[in-house]
A and B are shown apart, each in its own frame.
Chain A
Amino acid sequence: MSNQTIMKNVTSAPEFRLLVIAISVFVLMSVLSPDRFLSSQNLTSMAFQFPEFAILALAMTLAMMTGGIDLSVVGIANLSAVVAAVILTTFTDPAMPAAQSALWLTLAVVAALCVGALAGVTNGALIAFFGLPPILATVGSGLVFTGFAIAMTGGSAVMGFPGTVALIGNAQIFGLPVPLILFAILAVVLHLILTRTAFGLRVTMYGANPLAALYAAVDINRMLLKVYVIAGMFSSVAGLIIMSRANSAKADYGSSYLLLAVLIAVLGGVNPYGGYGRVIGVVLAVLSMQFLSSGLNMLQVSNFARELIWGALLIFVMVINTQALASLRDGFGKTVK
């Protein structure tokens, strides 16, 4: 009896549907193109491809949990990468010993993370202290961050890094791509933050009802600052991965990632009005997207068709989810009246 209800709870969760979707896409692609889709080469290349936008989706998830949104993630990623790139190109040269360039790389990474944190403080302050709607605050700040990156580089790519830079984006540890490891770490960290810390619980509760959070004496301003700082630093990590994989930094890299990040978060079951979201859902959404796009690639489907399918998938999932919501609401309404 209770097992049944637990099963029912599990199967009715949006994450379960995503699991089904992820598995079916995987199976479908494996069947359609078994030798190529399941080849270790393809699996590895997928593992290198998705972490950069998946990490941006994690940042978006956190912002959306509060009922906000962070449209500046790509701007932050590129600004961080440009700052790191400028440090690297200014202070290192390819002839430099690896130990020395690793030191500079560390410094560049720290600088990039600081840029992310600072950008996050800016967003958080605009939203918490000045009361801007998150959409507008981050559209504006995103333009400013991108603008700084353009102003610093004159709009062209910064390149000429020491070989150590490839560590972040192209290396493997124990056969696992470094970007994948970074994504896994950040996903686990975010999961723990959201479910096991006071801050995470406050984020969820605030997203569910901001006014009640105020009356429950939650320090909302500090919480929002933290949310956007974390989102900013996650974006910086994504920026560094992009920089390493492209072996250059540019103000307009990854411009399609912004919508992709929003799309993945919503696909992953995060409520865009706040109050609900689970990292596992976002991870499953990322995997579905990657399987789909890589499988379509195998099938010679153009990049553009992928965009079409992503958009259709998003709307499809929303239709399913909200119809579930609507019937839920009706049921609730009846018991109340």
Chain B
Amino acid sequence: MKRWLPKDFWTRNETLVAGVIVLFCIIATLSDPRFLTITTVSDLLRAAIVIGILAVGAMLVLVSGGIDVSFTAIAVFAMYTSTVLSLAIWPDMPWPLIFVIAVCLGALLGAINGFFIAFLKLPTLIVTLGTLSVFRGFLLTFIGSQRISDLPPAMRDFSRGVLARGTTEAGNFYSIPWAALALLFVIVLTWFILHKTMLGRSIYAIGGSVESARRVGVNVKWTQFFVYVYVGALAGLAGIIHGSVGRMADPFSLVGLELSVIAAVVLGGARLIGGYGTLTGTLLGVALIVIVQNSLIVVGIPTTWQSVTIGLLILLGTGVPAYRAKQEAARAG
């Protein structure tokens, strides 16, 4: 007999998070029928693009058994530097080229992380804490610390591009920007790497057991290196999208979000010990965080309690499985 649901369906974090989201939507719709409309959904989607791309990267690092807290600094660095560069040398640079520069800058900074982690074998948390300061400090000292609202015109063009827009019958405006395609692209690409290439399987293998991976012949160093470069590239992409959509290159934005993004990924079932993490879970985690950040007021919780709510969700989302595992271990003896 074919199983319709995975055996551990009911105990998975994905299920828990999806349940909370559904519950939230039900309560929200009951208290405000306008909640469940395309307007809200498109607003939430827009808010989720940048965090979503960052979260996919953070998930990949967790799967490989590491942790990265520098990706927000990479994102800002890539965004601001590519903007400055474009304004300086070719203000009419087409946006795809600006994007490519940002992605390459991100990959380059990621390679710095990768070098220290994969080749010098330093602890990932410490390295990325250090590079977080270095990247940010370098950006603000040597490249600039002024907000730029006069972006290259091509970036503004990008931010105006929409896939769909319209007005609902109730007269509410909605739009889905081009940037949503970027998130989709990142998801598909990452899914392909993780599930369809040996490289992706090697990332899971390393997260499961570095020693075993080495023994069966996985090139651990280069695989780890790839992870940090890829995450850097994703951060660069997220950064430039953030700048374009927000129509402002703000060197102080994004940094500080890193722990929330990691929390979203962990909520979705990725484990800090490595080897576990799914795209579905990650996106659900992001969805939950974004909903809480944007729509808490709808269910009657004042915005000032947003932090408390997210904190409690993280504690619940990670505490329930942790406590269950602890009980299980005690039972096994």
Q: Do chains A and B touch in the complex (CB under 8 A)?
A: yes
Q: Which residue of A lies closest to B145 (CB)?
A: A304
Tell whether, in the assembled complex, residue A315 and residue B127 are in contact, meaning their CB atoms are under 8 Å apart. Answer: yes
How would residues 101 to 138 of chain A score, 1 for a CB under 8 Å from any chain B CB and 0 otherwise? 00000000000000000000000001000111101110
Q: Are B307 and A263 in contact (CB under 8 A)?
A: no
Whether A141 pairs with B315 at a CB distance below 8 angstroms is: yes
Q: Does B25 sit at the interface, judged by CB under 8 A? A: no
Please report the C-alpha to C-alpha distance between residue A144 and residue B308 in the assembled complex, in whole angstroms: 4
> For the side of the interface on A, what is the size category?
35 or more
Given contacts A143-B311, A147-B307, A307-B140, contact A318 B122 (CB under 8 A): yes
- A94 at the B interface (CB under 8 A): no
Identify whether the interface residues of A are mostly helix, strand, loop, or mixed. helix
Q: Digit string of A131-163 for contact with B (CB within 8 Å is 1, else 0)?
A: 111011101111111111011001100000000
1/0 contact trace for B136-149 toward A, CB 8 Å? 11111100010000
A259 to B258, CA, bound (A): 12
Number of B residues with CB within 8 Å of any CB on chain A: 48
Asked if residues B120 and A142 are in contact (CB atoms below 8 Å), the reply is no
Known: A311-B130, A311-B132. A136 touches B266 (CB 8 A): yes
User: In the complex, A150→B262 CA distance in Å?
Assistant: 22
* The residue from A139, A273, A304, A308 contacting B314, defined by CB atoms under 8 A apart: A139
Q: Chain B contacts of A147 at CB under 8 A?
A: 305-311
B82 CB-CB contact with A under 8 Å: no
Residues in B310-328 with C-beta less than 8 Å from chain A: 310-312, 314-315, 318-319, 322-323, 325-326
Structural contact, A131 and B323, CB atoms closer than 8 A: yes
The answer to whether the Cβ of B126 comes within 8 Å of any Cβ in the partner chain is: yes
B133 interface contact, C-beta 8 A: yes
Distance in angstroms between the alpha carbons of A150 and B306 in the assembled complex? 9
A136 touches B122 (CB 8 A): no
State A147–B136 Cα separation when bound (angstroms).
Answer: 26
Distance A227 CA – B135 CA, assembled complex (angstroms): 33
B322, A307: Cβ atoms closer than 8 Å: no
- Given A147-B306, A151-B305, are A140 and B318 also a contact pair (CB < 8 Å)? yes
A-B contact pairs, 5 of them (CB 8 A): A130-B319, A139-B314, A266-B129, A304-B140, A311-B134
Nearest 10 Cβ contacts at the A-B interface: A308-B137, A311-B133, A147-B307, A143-B311, A147-B308, A304-B140, A144-B311, A307-B137, A140-B314, A311-B134
